[in-house]
Amino acid sequence: HGEANLVEKLLNSELCQSQSSQPFWVLDAGCGTGRMSIELARRGFEIVGVDLDEVMLAQARNKAPQLDWRLGDLSTINLGKSFDALVMAGNVMIYLTPGTEAATVANLAGQLNPGGLLIAAFELTAPSWSKLTLDTYDQMSAAAGLTLVARWSTWDQAPWQPGDRYAVSVHRKQVEGSK
């Protein structure tokens, strides 16, 4: 549960400046069959899982019917609440519909509490249809009001270096009145 371990650690660290009261709310964006959502819920977090694949969501619902599973496109879905953390594990960013990456980051950032974290991990040797680079991702995040606060090459926080094939990036939404 490397992803869940890091999400829990980050939410309980100084990197997360969300002012909401616990339990923390986490959006598992691109939740698939719910593996990470179920583990985070077991640890006491409030979870919403969203995916575009109804077959995967059906598996998640069968495993954990008590959790909030939603079918939707990450670039347009409005969940009607805000989150302390948004997690896009499992290469979600490089498997989005080409051309929706910036809209997805902006839409999700709009549903993040001030001081909350967007945690995304993806391969940097992306499939041929994805043109996403770290620089492009960071620019999309900045345009959505997010600031890069940490980056590693693994979920276990191995230091990231140029040339690495994978990146776990943590961006924070600005707290109103701060710079």
Predicted confidence (pLDDT) at residue 153 exceeds the cutoff of 70: yes
Taking the C-alpha atoms of residue 105 and residue 34, their distance in angstroms, rounded to an integer, is 21
Report residue 129 CA to chain centroid gap: 21
Per-residue pLDDT band for 179 (boundaries 50, 70, 90) equals low
Predicted confidence (pLDDT) at residue 127 exceeds the cutoff of 80: no
CB contact at 8 A, 40 and 26: yes
ω into 162 cis (within 30 of 0): no
Residue position matching structure tokens 């776990």? 168
Per-residue pLDDT band for 109 (boundaries 50, 70, 90) equals very high
| Residue 139 main-chain phi, psi, to 5 deg | -65, -40
**pLDDT given at position 18:** 86
95: tokens are 């498997």
